[in-house]
Amino acid sequence: MGDTGSLITGFIISLIAIRFSESSKDEFSPFFLQSGPAIAIGILMIPLFDTLRVMAARIYHSSSPFLPDKKHIHHYLLRLGFSHLQTTLTLMGTALIFIAVSALLHNRSVLLLTGVLFTLSSLLTAFVIMLVRKKR
């Protein structure tokens, strides 16, 4: 896909998430959700968390947060022996879990739901990284 395709895709997905978040604020709307922003975060949790985690690690190791490396979650799944299709399906399934958790907890506060999603992301990522290190 390349950088330009990835950036355009990310931009469009971000716009859709913002639009969803804004449309769910009206109490008289059929799409009203108390935690619309947190559900939007749930939809974007994998790329959002992965980007923040990788950039924080790069900054911690005194390198540019914009340099490429193989520390993204899909690289770890590939190192575990998953094919590209299996990696994609695994990430899609995980995204569906985040969306389901967001939908089930939509009546909770945005802060609580976001905390639950980030905690779940941290645990799942740590588990995958632990499996990769154990495989070595």
- pLDDT, tens digit (0-9, with 9 covering 90-100), for 18-55: 888 877 677 777 767 777 787 888 889 998 899 899 99
Rounded mean pLDDT, 3-16: 86
Residue 5, CB half-sphere, CA atoms under 13 Å: how many? 2
pLDDT given at position 7: 83
Tens of pLDDT, residue by residue over 50-108, are 989 999 999 999 999 888 889 999 999 999 999 999 999 999 999 999 988 988 887 78
Cα–Cα dist 104/98, whole Å: 10
> Which residues, 6 or more positions from 23, have their beta carbon under 8 angstroms from its beta carbon?
29, 31, 36
Q: Which of 128, 54, 47 is nearest to 95 (CA)?
A: 47
